[in-house]
Amino acid sequence: MLTFPDFTLISAKAECPACSKNFNTSLVSGSSPATADTRIETDLHRVYSCSAFRAAAIGLCMECGYSWWLKSFVLKTFFCPDQELQAPTLSSSSEDMRRFATAYLCGKQHKANHLELALVAMNAEWCAQDAGMEDQRWLNIAREELTKALRNPSARIDRGFYHYLLGEMCRRQDDFKGALANFDKARAGARLPEELILRQRVQARSGDASKTLLPVYLIESLFCPAYLQV
């Protein structure tokens, strides 16, 4: 077990869906709940203390090189003797980023849809941020894939929510016109408070492309329901 201030990694054995071989991998066994002090950015992603949290969400078979979300692999953690599990090891940030690159390429090869590919790219960008690395390349890919996903009229996706995320990607890349157009299409509702959309419209209008942490009152209303009961 590897313990970090905000999450814990354990070992797991997984079966590759491509070649059926078993391999050892790391698995997040739990993360600390968000509090008012948690760093959450305006694109609604939490900043973790290291890149291992997001990298552990990607499975990578060392036998055949297949890679995709670990949840799509068969996990055998609870069915194999302890001695067969190696202690989890901490990979380097660049290895974590390579893991996402492999998953993205495998997703393309296996014709994953644009939203799935956008989610891989978004998590890769957030993983880079957790590692303290700037990665505009992943932001470009995420924006491109999400734009394609939203262009498909038959795709059943939460358009209001994803237009908001796309608006944030545009804002971060100095495309303030694109940001405002997407915020116009974002819908307030159960997942997005109207004040969040209005706040990001103001930031885009003022030409501010910086990474921005959510203010405490929005973290509390979006991620800490316990506060509402006090």
Residue closer to Zn ion by CB (options 98, 187) is 98
Provide the binding-site residues for Zn ion, judged by CB under 5 A. Answer: 16, 18-19, 61, 63-64, 66
Which helix (H) or strand (E) segment holds residue 24: the answer is strand 22-31
Residue closer to Zn ion by CB (options 16, 121) is 16
Residue closer to Zn ion by CB (options 19, 36) is 19
CB of 20 to Zn ion, least distance (A): 7
* Alpha-carbon dihedral 43, 46, 52, 54, rounded to 10 degrees: -50
Residue closer to Zn ion by CB (options 108, 177) is 108
Query: In this structure, which amino acid lies at residue 95?
Result: E
Structure tokens at 76: 């055998």
CB of 62 to Zn ion, least distance (A): 8
CB of 69 to Zn ion, least distance (A): 15
Residue closer to Zn ion by CB (options 61, 196) is 61
Compute the distance between CA of residue 127 and CA of residue 129 in angstroms, rounded to an integer.
5
CB of 55 to Zn ion, least distance (A): 18
Structure tokens at 105: 């390429």
CB of 163 to Zn ion, least distance (A): 37
Full 3-state SS string of 87-137: CCCCCCHHHHHHHHHHHHHHHHHCCCCHHHHHHHHHHHHHHHHHCCCCCHH
